[in-house]
Amino acid sequence: MAYSTNASKNKRRKLLVVEDNDINREMLCAILDGEGFEVMEAENGEVGLALLEQEYEDLSLVLLDVYMPVCDGFEFLERKRGDRRFDSVPVIVATASEAREDEIACLKLGANDFIVKPYNTEIMMNRISNTVHLRESASLVNQLTWDTLTNLYSREFFYRRVDSVFTSMGDDLQFDMVCSDIVNFKSLNDRYGRQNCDQLLQDLAARLEELLPGYVVGGRIGADTFAFLVTHQPDHTWVSAIADVSKGLLGTSLSVKFGVVENVDRQLSVSLTCDRAIMALERIKKTFGVDVAWYNDKLREQQHMENTILESMETALDEHQFTVYYQPKHDLKGNRTGGAEALVRWIHPTLGFVSPGDFIPIFERSGFITQLDLYVCEEVCKEIRRCVELGLPVVPISFNASQLDFDDEDFAKKIVALTDAYGIDRTLLHVEVTETACSENPDRVIALLAELRDFGFHVELDDFGSGYSSLASLNMLPLDVMKLDMSIIQQASQLDDFRIVHSAIQMAQFLNLETVAEGVETQDEVRKLKELECGKIQGYFYSKPLMGKDFETYLAKEA
Ligand code: C2E
Ligand code: CA
Ligand code: CA
C-alpha cells in the first residue's frame, strides 16, 4: 500500500488521538504505530487539551472524535482555537458518515479535514499524510495565517482554507462567497484616525462572523475587504441579518457594501471567485440605499467586455481608433458659439461603438486614462490649429482630465509642450476637472490647478451639483468656469423649479466664475437660463458632439 512507505519518514512525528471508545482508540494507535508515528492517547477532550498544552510544539496532528463525555470534539476545537499557540497543530475529525452538520460545525471551528467511521485504513493514512505534509510545508508561513487585527484568516491562507473546505466536503453541498467593503475607508481613516478605524475593522469582522448565516470561514483579503465562505443560502436570509451591521459603528456615515457569488464554482480559483464578488460590489459602491449585489450573467458579460477593452486599448491608441468629437458651448450674451468640449469616441473593431461611459471607468482603473487624456489634448491642439489655418472663428476647447492625471507631476508641463508644439494660444485650451478628482489629495490638486492657470490655461469645474459639492472646496480651488451638471438642469426643468440652478449661478458669480449649463435640450430651458444670467449653454438644443469636420462646418456658419 502506498502509505506504508511512509513508515520510516514518520519516525519522530508525534500524533495525538482523542477518542473515548477504547477499542477504536487502540485500533487507531496500532495502525499509526505501525506507520512509524509516536502516538499519544486521550480518552476525552479535556485530557486531549492537557496533552496539547504540553506537546503542541512537537505535535504533527490531532485525530479527534466528535462525541465524547466530559469535553466533546466541538468544545476541544473551540478551546484550541482560542489559543494561538495551537494554530500550528492540524486536526482531523472522525465523524459518522451521515453527519453533514457536524462536519460544517467542525470546519467553522477550524478542523482541517475529516475521516468517516468506520475507518478505512488506506483513506485514513492518505488523509493524515496529506494534512501533515500540508502543514509542514505551510509552517513557514504560519505567522501569516491570521490577520492579527480582525482574527480572520489572512488572504493567502483564506484561499487555502476555502480550497481545503472544498476538497473535504462533498460536491452536493453548495457554498456562497460573500465579500464586504467599507465605502470610502481611506477618508474615514483620515477623519477618525487609525486607531478608531482599526477598532471599526475589528468590530465589523466580529459582527459579520456572528451574523452571517451558514458562516464557514472568513478572511481579510484587503485593507477593508473581508471575504466569507457560507453554505448556500437559497432565500438570501442573510440580507436581512446584516442589514444593520454598520449601525452604531463609528458614527452614522459608515456604509458597508456586499458582493455575492452564489453557488461557487469549485473549478475556479478562490481568488477569482472573490474578484467576482468584489466586482459585483464595486457596481453599487456609489448607489445609496443598495448594499448587496450579486454576481450574475450580465456582470460576466461586462467582465468579458472589460477584458476585451483592456486587451485592445493600447493597439486602439496606436491605430487611431479613438476619435475626438466636439460639442459646441453656446454663448448666450453674444448669441454665438463661445467654446466647445472635446469628447472621445471609440469605434472598436469587434465591439462596435463603445460609450465613453463604459470604457473611461475601465481606463481609470487600469491607469491607461492618462495616455488617452494626453492623446485627446493633442487632438484638440490639432483641431484649434486647423481652425486657425482655415480662418474659422476660433473658440476655446476644453478636454477632460481625470484624477490620475494629477498624480503626474509633469502634467502641466506636458500640456504646455503640446500647445507649444502646435503654436496654440494657451488661453484657448481649457481643462475640465471634477470635484471628485480633487477629493483624494486636495493640496496637490490645488497646486496643480494653480500651475495650469499660471501657464495661462483655463480650468473648468465639471459636473457641479452632481454629487456632494461644498462651497468650501469651491472657494479653495483655483477655477475659471463652473459647469452645472445636466442632472440639476433636467431636474429643475421637470419640477419647473429653477431655484437651485439660480443659487448655483449666483454662487458662481460671487466667486467670479463663468457658468456653463450642460445637457440643455429645450427652448424653455434656454429661456430660463438666459433669465438667470447663465453664461454659456452646452447641450443637444444647440448641437450634439460633432466630428471635427462637422464642427468646422458649424463654426463656418458663424464666420
Ligand atoms: P461629461 O464630461 O459630463 O460630458 C458630457 C456628456 O453629456 C457627454 O457624454 C455628452 O455627449 C453628453 N451630453 C451633452 N449634451 C447633452 C444633452 O443635451 N443631453 C444629454 N442627455 N446628454 C448630453 P459622453 O460623450 O458620452 O461622455 C460621457 C463622459 O465620459 C463625460 O462626461 C466624461 O466624464 C467622460 N469623457 C468623455 N471623453 C473623455 C476624455 O477624453 N477623457 C476623460 N477623462 N473623460 C472623458
Ligand atoms: Ca466634461
Ligand atoms: Ca459634465
Return the ligand number nearest the Cα of 398.
Answer: 2
For residue 157, pLDDT beyond 90: no
Return the ligand number nearest the Cα of 537.
Answer: 1
Tens-digit pLDDT profile for residues 81-103: 888 778 778 899 988 767 778 88
Residues 6+ apart with CB under 8 A from 269: 159
**DSSP E strand stretches across 221-306:** 225-231, 256-261, 292-294
Number of the ligand 1 atom closest to the C-alpha atom of 521: 18
Confidence category of residue 537, pLDDT binned at 50, 70, 90? very high
DSSP letter at 59 equals E
Q: Cα torsion for 372, 374, 375, 376, to the nearest 10°? A: 90
Helix, strand, or coil here: 400? Answer: strand
Phi, psi angle pair for 489, to nearest 5°: -70, -45
Kindly report the protein residue whose alpha carbon is nearest to atom 19 of ligand 1.
Answer: 519
Return the ligand number nearest the Cα of 401.
Answer: 1
Q: What is the pLDDT of residue 231?
A: 92
Tens-digit pLDDT profile for residues 418-449: 999 999 999 999 999 988 777 777 888 999 99
Tens-digit pLDDT profile for residues 8-30: 555 568 899 999 988 888 988 88
b/e per residue, 395-430, with b = 16+ CB within 10 A? bbbbbbbbbbbbeeeebbeebbebbeebebebebbb
Return the ligand number nearest the Cα of 538.
Answer: 1
Cis peptide bond upstream of 118, omega within 30: yes
**DSSP E strand stretches across 168-291:** 175-182, 215-220, 225-231, 256-261
Q: Is the CB of 344 under 6 A from ligand 1?
A: yes
Q: How do the domains of the chain map onto residue ranges?
A: 14-144, 153-295, 312-556
CATH class of 153-295: alpha beta
Residue 68: closest CA among 38, 40, 47, 99: 47
Confidence category of residue 5, pLDDT binned at 50, 70, 90? very low
**CA of 442 relative to ligand 1 center, distance in Å:** 24
Q: Is 53 exposed, middle or buried (0-12, 13-18, 19+ CB in 10 A)?
A: exposed
Phi, psi angle pair for 543, to nearest 5°: -170, 145
Pocket test of ligand 1: the residue of 359, 399, 400, 408 to mutate, having most ligand atoms within 8 Å of its CB, is 400
What is the C-alpha radius of gyration for the chain, rounded to an integer number of angstroms? 32
Asked whether the beta carbons of 437 and 403 are under 8 A apart, the reply is yes
Q: Is the CB of 328 under 6 A from ligand 1?
A: no
Number of the ligand 1 atom closest to the C-alpha atom of 369: 44
Mean pLDDT across 57-76: 90
Confidence category of residue 3, pLDDT binned at 50, 70, 90? very low
Q: What is the pLDDT of residue 139?
A: 52
pLDDT-above-90 percentage for the chain: 58
Q: Is the CB of 82 under 6 A from ligand 1?
A: no
Confidence category of residue 469, pLDDT binned at 50, 70, 90? low
Residues 6+ apart with CB under 8 A from 142: 87, 88
Tens-digit pLDDT profile for residues 284-299: 988 888 899 999 988 8
Q: What is the pLDDT of residue 496?
A: 94
Q: Is the CB of 327 under 6 A from ligand 1?
A: yes
Beta strands across the sheet bearing 91-96: 38-42, 14-18, 59-65, 91-96, 113-117
DSSP bridge pairs for 14: 38, 59
Q: Is the CB of 465 under 6 A from ligand 1?
A: no
**CA of 558 relative to ligand 3 center, distance in Å:** 25
**CA of 91 relative to ligand 1 center, distance in Å:** 59
d(CA 27, CA 22): 8
Q: Is the CB of 360 under 6 A from ligand 1?
A: yes
CATH class of 14-144: alpha beta
Kindly report the protein residue whose alpha carbon is nearest to atom 12 of ligand 1.
Answer: 519
**CA of 462 relative to ligand 3 center, distance in Å:** 5
**CA of 402 relative to ligand 1 center, distance in Å:** 13
Does the domain made of 312-556 have the CATH classification 3.20.20.450? yes
Q: What is the pLDDT of residue 427?
A: 97
Higher per-residue confidence, 325 vs 190 = 325
Question: How many other C-beta atoms can be found within 10 angstroms of the C-beta atom of residue 468?
Answer: 9
163 to 77, 273, 510: CA distances (angstroms) = 20, 12, 62
Q: What is the pLDDT of residue 360?
A: 96
Helix or strand holding residue 45 (H, E): helix 45-55
- What pTM, to 2 d.p., does this model score? 0.64
Residue 393 has, within 13 A of its CA and on its CB side, a CA count of 15
- Computed over every residue of the chain, the mean pLDDT equals 89
Q: What is the pLDDT of residue 234?
A: 86
